[in-house]
Amino acid sequence: MDEKIIMTYNDVNFSDLIDVISVERDIGNKRDVTTNPALTLGATVNRVKVGMKEIRVRFSLASVKLSDIQFVDTTQPYELRYKNLNKLREKIAGLLHTTVPLKLEFSDEPDRYYWALSDGDISLGAITTWYDEATITFLVPDGVAHSTTYKEVTTHRIESDRIIYTVDNQGTVDAFPIIEVEHEESNGYLAFVNREGISALGDESKVDADAYVRPSEPLLDFKGGRLFNSVSLPSSSYGSSSGGSRMEFISNNDRGYRLRITLETLSQNTSSRTSQVKMRAHLLNQGWTFALYDINASVTVSGQTFTYSGRPQMLTKNSSILLIEKTISVTHDGNGAKTISVSGWLTGQGGYSPNRLTVRTSNYSLPRLALSSHSSGHTQASGPNLAQKNVAVRNDNSDLQNASLKVENAWGRNHLALNALGTIGQNQGASSAGLTWVIPGSERTTNEYIWWRQIFWCGRVNQRGFLKVIVSDESGAFLYGVETIKRGADFETEYNFFATDGKGGFEFLKQWKFKPSHKNEENPFNRDRGWSDLNRKDDQVDVYWFGSHFRVTVPNIKGKKAAKIHVVLGGYPGSEWPTHMYLDELYFRMDFGKKFTDKPTNAFGKQSKVVINSEDDTIQVDGVMNANLLIDGAGFIRLPPGESELQFFASKWTRKMPRVTIRFEERWL
């Protein structure tokens, strides 16, 4: 006896509603061949169009559970499914009612599923009042069956400038891969190439931006759960200018030629009380170029001297040449501090080459070494503990900062959430909890990038609350920010970009509305998403919303430097705040390019994650959509049936190839 077939549609098991009699699937799909008569014999094929797939399911339905009836006996007890077939018919009609394809599965194909929707009439045969039969015709618009699991590509080999992956697609049509690229080092270019085409992002010809433009500086980095990681830090060092992880030292200028020495603290070891410091020496130029000249250089750092002698070619204007690169170990003083000296020189032969360039002796203060958390002057701190509490600058004073926060775990990750609201007075409508991070370092610019992940998902329609991300200047005045706010008892929620009006108040410059549900099409801040960013260049701000960036001119912040970043979570006493209103991640970067056309950073920074999704033709960088990275003429890669090769390229100058994960669903006609 054949095993009973179970049908599941939109994750609903239909076995309690119907009994599947048969499932009819044709071989392949309908083909429409367009031809023209040949001159002498046969025809010329102009086009072959492969149509949709059609699946017919014949089934029975009964108001009683047929498996309970062993033989026809009017006195035999049985279990009622529904009081009559009409109720059952209405139930099935409701489950099949959709305007978009939904997931369809059959138990006799446990490794396949279809995106399908019902078509035509589902006519009953009028057999009895308690039993009947009918046929559902499902249309599959994309024309294929999908594998229920993703296949991951693991076989690869490394060649000089690329990684070549061997792909085994056992489906009968092209597959659309999801490619994840995780960077440990900066990179400016990603390309995936096979016989079907190319998917390329960034700029292949661009040199390392860090080598000739002052790189952007990440000053707050609470990505990837680091907001909740507890670390031992000197109590007095956060927000001070006593030490930095990276510094540059520039020589005199000879016709645009300069020697640049960069020191960067890569890592620290508390047990050996040492830091690993990388030194790099670059020769920079502007309008002059040269070749076939002898160049000599020397750099002394922390008492160690490193030299260069050679005949480099410098044939491109506004470029750089790496002359020396060394990593040294530096032992810290007893209190965890350490300052080292650095100096250097370079000599050419005159003519087109540089004359003498000198970097005078300067000091470099390493980041203070984190001692034991029990040592005097040290504290065990996580991201929230590094912030000032309930002194946040806001766009208005309609809320009283007297609420408290907590760390809440949901869906396997930590979130910063409201814990309790405080009592408010007559002049305040809400209670809030604010966190204020002082932007570290003494140098400020009018160009910054803020990235964060927030969740705003209501469990009930009448919940109310708000989450704000705000920037203030050196005088403590409000500059600009965004708020996610649900004011009323309906489901309407606002996402607003606002800025100072220059008169002590604020003005809304961009406003959007959404529904804080679990649905991707309604809510950009649901469980699996929530990333957003703001990118400022003086008086212009790029605001991210639902997959796009909107550039806004803000005259009242021109020339004003960011000094603090504030996050505020609030609610309204007497009302529930949103069930899932969280801050998950936060990142602040200071830039040195003054225009959006300036490229102060490489396209893909350290620790960045890029997702190229050929299933829905999207590109994400750290969760934020950015289709502009796709190079003109490139598209989204496909993987052909059978065995094939997929080649991966990155920038030639990147210090370490990114880690790549490739996975795809196989598909069958």
Question: For residues 500-520, b (16+ Cβ closer than 10 Å) or e, as one string?
Answer: beeeeebeebbeeebbbeeee
- Enclosing H/E stretch for 564: strand 562-571
175, with CB counted inside 10 A (0-12, 13-18, 19+), is buried
Summarize pLDDT for 29-39 with one digit per residue, the tens: 888 888 888 88
User: Is the pLDDT reported for residue 325 higher than 90?
Assistant: yes
Q: How far apart are CA 224 and CA 181, in angstroms?
A: 15
- Interior CA angle at 474 toward 472 and 479, to 5°? 25
Tokens read off for 116: 């399908």
Summarize pLDDT for 116-175 with one digit per residue, the tens: 999 988 888 878 777 888 999 999 999 999 999 999 998 989 888 889 999 999 999 999
Number of CB atoms found within 10 A of residue 466's CB: 25
The average pLDDT across 563-570 equals 94
The single-letter code of the amino acid at 36 is N
Using an 8 Å Cβ cutoff, are 600 and 212 in contact?
no
pLDDT, position 368: 65
3-state secondary structure of 33: strand
CA-CA distances (angstroms) from residue 646 to 68, 285, 525? 56, 38, 34
The average pLDDT across 357-383 equals 63
Q: Are strands 399-401 and 430-438 parallel, antiparallel or unpaired?
A: parallel
Nearest to 415 by CA among 580, 270, 539: 580
Summarize pLDDT for 41-74 with one digit per residue, the tens: 888 888 888 889 999 999 988 876 655 554 444 4
Domain residue ranges of the chain, discontinuous segments joined by +:
7-147, 151-209+601-668, 234-365, 382-590
Q: How far apart are CA 590 and CA 210, in angstroms?
A: 14
The single-letter code of the amino acid at 128 is T
pLDDT, position 284: 93
Q: How far apart are CA 658 and CA 607, in angstroms?
A: 10
pLDDT, position 245: 58
* Choice between 593 and 117, residue whose per-residue pLDDT is larger: 117
pLDDT, position 495: 97
The average pLDDT across 318-336 equals 88
Location of structure tokens 């031809």: 35
Using an 8 Å Cβ cutoff, are 435 and 385 in contact?
no
Q: How far apart are CA 180 and CA 184, in angstroms?
A: 13
Q: Helix-strand-coil percent breakdown of the chain, rounded to 5?
A: 5, 50, 45
- Is-same-fold flag (7-147; 151-209+601-668)? no
Widest pairwise Cα distance in the chain:
113
Q: How far apart are CA 516 and CA 525, in angstroms?
A: 7
Q: In terms of DSSP H, where are the helices of 589-637?
A: none
Nearest to 81 by CA among 68, 59, 62, 95: 62
Q: How far apart are CA 347 and CA 281, in angstroms?
A: 13
151-209+601-668 CATH pick, 2.90.10.10, 2.60.120.860, 3.40.50.2300, 2.20.25.240: 2.60.120.860
Tokens read off for 424: 């408010």
The domain defined by 7-147 folds into Elongation Factor Tu (Ef-tu); domain 3 (2.40.30)
Strand partners, 456: 581
Tokens read off for 299: 């750099």
Using an 8 Å Cβ cutoff, are 605 and 508 in contact?
no
What's the CATH number for 382-590?
Answer: 2.60.120.200
pLDDT, position 373: 36
Q: Find which of 147-156, 266-275, 585-594 is predicted with most confidence, using mean pLDDT.
A: 147-156
Average pLDDT, the chain: 85
Q: What is the value of pTM for the model shown?
A: 0.61
The average pLDDT across 392-396 equals 91
What's the CATH number for 234-365?
Answer: 2.60.40
pLDDT band at 633 (very low <50, low <70, confident <90, very high): confident
Summarize pLDDT for 420-435 with one digit per residue, the tens: 998 887 777 899 999 9
Using an 8 Å Cβ cutoff, are 32 and 49 in contact?
yes
pLDDT, position 590: 84
